[in-house]
Amino acid sequence: MSFSSHYSILLVAVPLAFAALCPIVGMWKRELCFPFSVAGAAAACFFIFSLWGKVISKGVVSYTPGGWKPPLGIQIRIDYVGLFMASIIGAVGLAVLVYSWRYVSRELDAEKIPYYYTLYMLLFASMLGFVVTGDIFNMFVFMEIFSISSYALVAITGQRRAVRAAFKYLLMGATSSVMVLLGIAFLYSTVGSLNMEDIAGRLAMGGYTSVASIALVLFLIGFAVKAALFPVHIWLPDAHSIAPSPISAVLSALVIKMGVLGILRIFFTVYTPGFAGIEGTWTALLQAIAWCAAISIVLASIMAIIQRDFKVMIAYSSIAHIGYILLGICMLTDKGLTGGLYNILAHALGKGCFFLVAGIIIYKHDLRRITSLRGLGRSMPVTAGAFAVASLSIVGLPPSAGFIAKWYILWGCLQKQHYVFMVMVLLGSLLSAIYCFRVVYYMFFVGSHSAEIDEGPATMIVPAASFAAATLFFGIFATLVLPSLSSAAQALLAG
């Protein structure tokens, strides 16, 4: 076997190893932690993007560490959705890591910096593990790793309110993890397997209806908390707004999407759409998610409008966008799924940019209130410009990635004739226009005209600006991604 056939395990193992070695490097020389982590993340990115060719030609790349065949051995199973998510994690994770450098060296105590990079790499590696694994228990383990590292990262500053927010996050997160674990236990006790495809096959033989239904409900609630879907979103505004800004960006752009992926895996891989026996429960639960998602969109957008704190506003907007993603998915049509998945990309870039911009503003001026952002368009044109461009995508205006996502989500709703959802999606856009443009307004159209240009450091501006540019790029050259996403959607719908 050639080296390249091991890429699927290396993309998880390498960053994990770097995470383990990071404290040791930090003990030796603290400044080396940053380049060391960047090297690890870059290597993971290389492995991820090299896998695209294989996935496009084969559909699924399967890898069994040590040669133990599933269902006994652990299986790494990389399909379109998994690799799509992994690519987003890789690219966004690397960019935010670069951004972190200047931010944490100012905001954190020097002795905490190695821990920061260790936790960051752990978060990065475990998310990658989560999206590529084909084993449901393995998935749970990775979920716990990324959850615990996010709790720690939220609290890393050690401020009182940071600890409190992290604790709230921990309480909800731990409960949801227990639910997922319970669901896995229920399945395992009856079906006797932990491999997702294998479970699907055994479930399809029938006879497990009641236990399978209970497990499904447990999974749903568990992952809905991780995804911060209404009404179990209450941990998100605190945790995302109080965390250090690069961490907010990662939490918002990536970590909550893991909950979405969990729902996708459970509903489409483990319990396949055509699964006999509990179609009733399956459909009813998806309907419930769709309604929760639609309510999320409207309610969270309204909440975002009434916020005064810049980062809390952005955090509420994330809840709304999780709503778009799940709404698209719950339409159960290829277009709706494509739109939901595309919004994962669009939101990762747009919201990543928002939080990075918020971070630059905090880094330079320590401003958090929206009304205090006046005149920043003059003194920090690139930062404020990046925000303005990204807000096009968050609102869903053309030509941006968010528009393509909304277009497909609306198309999906139309395929199922859900006119109410269409109206709610458009209403959500209008509300998001209010909260985004309010910030743009304060940045560009209020305040003094004679301010000197005073930008943040380049390592912070470049990631933020490239996210903004990427939202436009994927809005215009959507055909680069769309075919893969349609294949992903079709594969998911086929089970």
Is position 490 an interface residue for other proteins (rule: CB under 8 A)? no
Q: Is 469 in the site for other proteins (CB under 8 A)?
A: no
Among 163, 234, 305, 433, binds other proteins (CB under 8 A): 433
At position 230, the amino acid (one-letter code) is: F
The distance of closest approach from Cβ of residue 224 to other proteins in the complex, given in angstroms and rounded to an integer, is 28
Measured from the CB atom, the residue of 196 and 404 that comes closer to other proteins is: 404
Window of 26-34, 55-63, 108-116, 472-480 that interacts with other proteins by CB under 8 A: 472-480
Q: In whole angstroms, how close is the CB of 339 to other proteins at the nearest point?
A: 11
Residues 444-463 interacting with other proteins (rule: CB under 8 A): 444-445, 449
Near other proteins by CB under 8 A: residue from 108, 414, 469, 491:
414
Instruction: Tell me how far, at minimum, the Cβ of 326 lies from other proteins, in Å.
Output: 20
User: Is 430 one of the binding residues for other proteins (CB under 8 A)?
Assistant: yes
The only residue of 159, 476, 490, 494 in contact with other proteins, by rule CB under 8 A? 476
| CA 154 to chain CA mean position, Å | 16
Cβ-based nearer residue to other proteins, 261 or 388: 388
Nearer to other proteins, 410 or 464 (CB): 410
CB of 395 to other proteins, least distance (A): 8
Give backbone dihedrals phi and psi of 229, rounded to 5 degrees, phi first: -85, 145
CA angle 418-420-425, nearest 5°? 100
Residue 407 Cβ vs other proteins, minimum distance, rounded to whole Å: 7
User: Per CB under 8 A, does 300 bind other proteins?
Assistant: no
Per-residue mark of binding to other proteins, 362-381 (x: CB under 8 A): -------------------x
**Per-residue contact flags (x/-) with other proteins for residues 322 to 361, judged by CB under 8 A:** ----------------------------------------
Asked if 422 interacts with other proteins (CB under 8 A), we say: yes
Phi, psi (deg, nearest 5) at residue 61: -110, 120
- Count interface residues toward other proteins (CB under 8 A): 28
Supply the minimum distance, in Å, between the C-beta of residue 81 and other proteins: 19
The stretch among 3-11, 39-47, 363-371, 425-433 that binds other proteins (CB under 8 A) is: 425-433
The C-alpha torsion from 418 through 419 and 422 to 428, rounded to 10°, is: -110
Q: Which of positions 382-411 make contact with other proteins (CB under 8 A)?
A: 397-399, 404, 406-408, 410-411
Nearer to other proteins, 139 or 439 (CB): 439
130: nearest Cα among 185, 198, 76: 76
Half-sphere exposure of 350 (CA within 13 A, CB side): 33
Q: How far is the CB of 264 from other proteins (least distance, A)?
A: 22
Q: Decide if residue 482 touches other proteins (CB under 8 A).
A: yes
Please tell me whether the peptide bond between 114 and the residue prior to it is cis, using omega within 30 degrees of 0. no
By beta-carbon proximity to other proteins, the closer residue of 1 and 453 is 453
Give min distance, CB of 382 to other proteins, in A: 11
305 binds other proteins (CB under 8 A): no
State the nearest-atom distance from the C-beta of 422 to other proteins, in Å.
7
For the CB of residue 481, give the shortest distance to other proteins in the complex, in Å.
Answer: 10
Q: Which of 163, 174, 426, 491 binds other proteins (CB under 8 A)?
A: 426
Interface positions with other proteins (CB under 8 A):
381, 397-399, 404, 406-408, 410-411, 414-415, 422, 426-427, 429-430, 433, 437, 444-445, 449, 475-479, 482
